[in-house]
Amino acid sequence: MDDDRHDRGVRRRLTAAGVIAASFLALTPGVAHAEPTADEVREEIERLEQEFSELNEAYNKAKEEHEAAREKLEEINEDLAETEEEVEGLQESIRLLAGTAYSGVDYNSLVYLIGSDNPDDLLVQSADLNYLSASQQGRLDRYTEQREKLEQLREEAEETEQEAQAKLDEAEEAREEGEEKIAEQEALLDDLTADEQAAATAGINTVSSSTSGTTYNGPATGDARVALEFAFNQIGKPYIWGGTGPNGYDCSGLTQAAWAAAGVSLPRVSQDQFYAGQRVSWDNIQAGDLLFFYNSTAPTHVGMATGDGRMVHASTSSKPIGVVELTSYYRQNFVGAVRP
């Protein structure tokens, strides 16, 4: 299965340039082999940037659901082991009960009591045997109940394992598609001059990205400053799918870790972080605020305002963690800010 996914990913990347070329030919009907303009490339790259963020969010959601399914499976397997152990213990009692029934002796029968040398003693024993019979019936009922539970647990374990694998497959598919978007971006930019490339990526370009972190010198105070100092320390580290540190991060992994450094707990994914604080408008953004983009009800990208018209974020796997200007591109795609 892994080999199949890899082969699909390779085929996608190999055809990415062809797909993009065909799409741009469609933009200019009647003109053979028309080269896309820098503006057309910019629009396409911005679209791919959004699609990448959506796939990253889908990846994180699927990974979360996979992890939840795995944890559920562990609990089921623990319960399954305990139930199997109890059933094995009950089986011996049930075999003894079956053996007694097979012998055909009725210790409570009148004939057995009359023929006995000491009927009074046997009456006492009979009362004990009645108790034992009730106890045996209880064990039989318990055995039947636990056998049924055992079968249910085995079925639930199998279904949960299949669910976990399905979510993992979903995550891998999203990752592969996201990498395809990056390959498409690179194919677009390869045919442009350096100036055209700069113009095409001006709205989303990183303006600060050292290789070993940097120092935050902005206006933030308190917890926001602690969070931003942490985030600036990560600048230059790679974007990693599902990354929560310390070697790399994705967008929500970075914001979660940054605010955790300040003692504030945030959910894992950007869609959940969007509801994890006080909502603020674009005009009231302060340093440390979380900035969300692309979908008004379920944002797929998040960064952190630095307080000087920029933000620090982990954007895509084609770029390291860095600082970007809050250009018109981000303003147009802005859906809300949250102050943790």
Nearest to 175 by CA among 267, 240, 234: 240
**Cα distances (angstroms) measured from residue 318 to each of 181, 184, 198, 237, 291:** 10, 11, 15, 12, 21
Residue the block writes with tokens 């896309």: 36
Higher-confidence residue: 108 or 171?
171
Rounded distance between C-alpha atoms, residue 235 and residue 91, angstroms: 63
Q: Which of 6, 33, 66, 313 is catalytic?
A: 313
66 is catalytic: no
Q: Which of 6, 33, 66, 301 is catalytic?
A: 301
**Cα distances (angstroms) measured from residue 140 to each of 150, 153, 238:** 15, 20, 61
Rounded distance between C-alpha atoms, residue 97 and residue 205, angstroms: 79
301 is catalytic: yes
> Which structure tokens are listed for 57?
């969010």
Domain boundaries, the chain: 2-197, 203-339
Phi-psi region of 311 (alpha: psi -120 to 50; beta: other; left: phi over 0): beta
* Predicted confidence (pLDDT) at residue 125 exceeds the cutoff of 80: no
- Fold assignment, 203-339: endopeptidase fold (from Nostoc punctiforme) (3.90.1720)
Most confident range, picked from 6-20, 165-179, 324-338: 324-338
33 is catalytic: no
How much of the chain, in percent, has pLDDT values that exceed 70? 74
pLDDT band at 191 (very low <50, low <70, confident <90, very high): confident
Do 277 and 286 form a contact (C-beta atoms < 8 A)? no
> Which structure tokens are listed for 186?
């690179």
* Predicted confidence (pLDDT) at residue 96 exceeds the cutoff of 70: no
Q: Round the average pLDDT of the chain to a whole number and report it.
A: 79
Do 138 and 75 form a contact (C-beta atoms < 8 A)? no
Q: Which of 6, 33, 66, 251 is catalytic?
A: 251
* Predicted confidence (pLDDT) at residue 130 exceeds the cutoff of 70: no
What single-letter amino acid sits at 297? T
Report the predicted TM-score, pTM, of the whole model to 2 decimal places. 0.68
Do 45 and 200 form a contact (C-beta atoms < 8 A)? yes
> For residue 321, what pLDDT is reported?
95
Rounded distance between C-alpha atoms, residue 299 and residue 269, angstroms: 10
As a CATH number, domain 2-197 is 1.10.287
48-66: pLDDT as tens digits = 888 998 999 999 988 989 8
pLDDT band at 245 (very low <50, low <70, confident <90, very high): very high
